[in-house]
């Protein structure tokens, strides 16, 4: 029987990290080539016919929009040319959730794309990378994974790309989907799905970025008690296209930042209210009159994910009603 063809696209991260010794946490992310990652996973060749490509080799704190565009292009090309039945992306954990959401909005095919990484470098005692990579390949190779969109596989959990979030800076079990929980599990070579992500992703979105080499400039401004408006004012001066506020509670802004947002909106900058709180949603007209302020809201997306949707949304329109509808749909 022919094995599914899985292409591993390596971008760097701790999974490709090298430390001085097995008992120290210090390491340099994105040091090892993809060949070494694959060789560290015994039996992976019995799950799938593996091939690999190096897209970048960075710690994901250095992930860029340019690398996202390159990844997107390559994934769509691989599926278009029928080069693989599924794709696994090895990626640092710091921004893995952002890449996963970006791809879940922009990949135009139904075939599985699975991101994974590790919390311990490849040289560490009990490195978690090889098991995560084995599990990610198992998920990408499973016939049940078709139509599930872009996923994150970590510590035997399968998350929808839209929902995954890094929730620990140090623990091996570093990912959760705080609003929804995982959609499935991978264990002992078996893939079991419990839930289906109902949000529309992949080829159902209007965000076909084929041919684009730049995206609108959208930034995040975080609030805290007694926060000055310095950050938002600086972004307005810079002439950004959009600002997502990581606001208080259900997306609240204090008085000075409310005034700064009014100035931003006056300069035709799109402002989306999100929250620094981990779960729940930011709804229209909660404690804030969005119609009066000229803002839209993030629904249940974290600020860093809302930034991605706004970036992609602004490639299509500046109309606030349409942009708001994107946030309730994708």
Ligand X SMILES: NC(=O)C[C@H](N)C(=O)O
Report the b/e string of 214-246 with b at 16+ CB within 10 A.
ebbbbbbbebeeebebebbbebbeeebbbbbbb
Q: Which residue's Cβ lies closest to ligand X?
A: 92
Count of residues in contact with ligand X, rule CB under 6 A: 11
| CB of 13 or CB of 184, closer to ligand X | 13
| CB of 119 or CB of 253, closer to ligand X | 119
Is 315 flagged in the annotation as binding? Answer: no
Q: In this structure, are strands 242-247 and 218-222 parallel, antiparallel, or unpaired?
A: parallel
Give the binding range for ligand X (CB under 6 A) out of 87-95, 188-196, 199-207, 279-287.
87-95
Q: How far is the CB of 32 from ligand X (least distance, A)?
A: 12
Interface of this chain with ligand X, residues 9 to 48, rule: CB under 6 A: 13-14, 29
Is 93 flagged in the annotation as binding? Answer: yes
Whether 230 is catalytic is no
Instruction: Report the Cα 204 to chain-centroid distance in Å.
Output: 18
- 3 state SS of 129: helix
Interface of this chain with ligand X, residues 54 to 73, rule: CB under 6 A: 59-61
For 165, phi then psi, to 5°, come to -145, 140
Residue 201 binds ligand X, judged by CB under 6 A: no
Catalytic residue among 11, 14, 95, 116: 14
| CB of 62 or CB of 233, closer to ligand X | 62
What residues contact residue 175 under an 8 Å CB cut-off, 6+ apart? Answer: 93, 96, 97, 152, 154, 155, 157, 159, 164, 165, 166, 167
Report the b/e string of 76-105 with b at 16+ CB within 10 A.
bebbeeeebbbbbbbbbbbbbbbbbbbbbb
Among 31, 72, 76, 93, binds ligand X (CB under 6 A): 93
| CB of 32 or CB of 264, closer to ligand X | 32
Strand partners, 327: none
Interface of this chain with ligand X, residues 225 to 284, rule: CB under 6 A: none
Residue 137 · residue 44 · CB < 8 Å? yes
Residue 164 · residue 175 · CB < 8 Å? yes
Instruction: Report the Cα 63 to chain-centroid distance in Å.
Output: 11
Q: How far is the CB of 118 from ligand X (least distance, A)?
A: 6
Among 78, 113, 119, 221, binds ligand X (CB under 6 A): 119
Is 298 flagged in the annotation as binding? Answer: no
| CB of 95 or CB of 298, closer to ligand X | 95
Annotated binding site for substrate: 60, 93-94
Catalytic residue numbers read 14
Q: Which residues contact ligand X by CB under 6 A?
A: 13-14, 29, 59-61, 92-94, 117, 119
């Amino acid at each position: 029987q022919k094995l599914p063809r899985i292409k591993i696209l390596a971008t760097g991260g701790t999974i490709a990290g090298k430390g001085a010794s097995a008992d120290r946490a210090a390491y340099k992310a994105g040091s090892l080539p993809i060949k070494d990652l694959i060789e560290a996973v015994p039996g992976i060749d019995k799950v799938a016919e593996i091939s690999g490509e190096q897209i970048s080799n960075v710690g994901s704190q250095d992930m860029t929009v340019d690398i996202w565009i390159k990844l997107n292009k390559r994934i769509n090309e691989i599926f278009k040319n029928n080069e693989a039945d599924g794709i696994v992306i090895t990626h640092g954990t710091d921004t893995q959730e952002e890449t996963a959401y970006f791809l879940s909005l922009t990949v135009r095919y139904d075939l599985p794309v699975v991101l994974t990484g590790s919390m311990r470098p490849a040289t560490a005692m009990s490195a978690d990378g090889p098991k995560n990579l084995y599990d990610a390949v198992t998920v990408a190779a499973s016939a049940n994974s078709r139509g599930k969109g872009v996923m994150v596989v970590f510590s035997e959990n399968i998350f929808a790309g839209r929902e995954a979030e890094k929730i620990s800076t140090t623990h091996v079990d570093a990912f959760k989907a705080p609003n929804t929980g995982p959609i499935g599990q991978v264990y002992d070579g078996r893939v079991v799905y419990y839930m289906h992500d109902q949000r529309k992703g992949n080829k159902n979105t209007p965000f076909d970025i084929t041919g684009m080499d730049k995206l609108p400039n959208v930034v995040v401004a975080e609030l805290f008690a007694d926060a000055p408006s310095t950050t938002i004012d600086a972004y307005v001066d810079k002439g950004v296209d959009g600002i997502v506020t990581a606001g208080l509670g259900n997306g609240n802004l204090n008085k000075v930042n409310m005034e700064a947002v009014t100035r931003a909106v006056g300069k035709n900058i799109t402002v989306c209210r999100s929250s620094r709180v981990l779960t729940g949603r930011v709804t229209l007209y909660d404690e804030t009159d969005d119609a009066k302020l000229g803002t839209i809201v993030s629904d249940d997306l974290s600020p860093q994910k809302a930034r991605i949707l706004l970036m992609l949304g602004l490639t299509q329109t500046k109309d606030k009603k349409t942009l708001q509808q994107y946030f309730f749909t994708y």
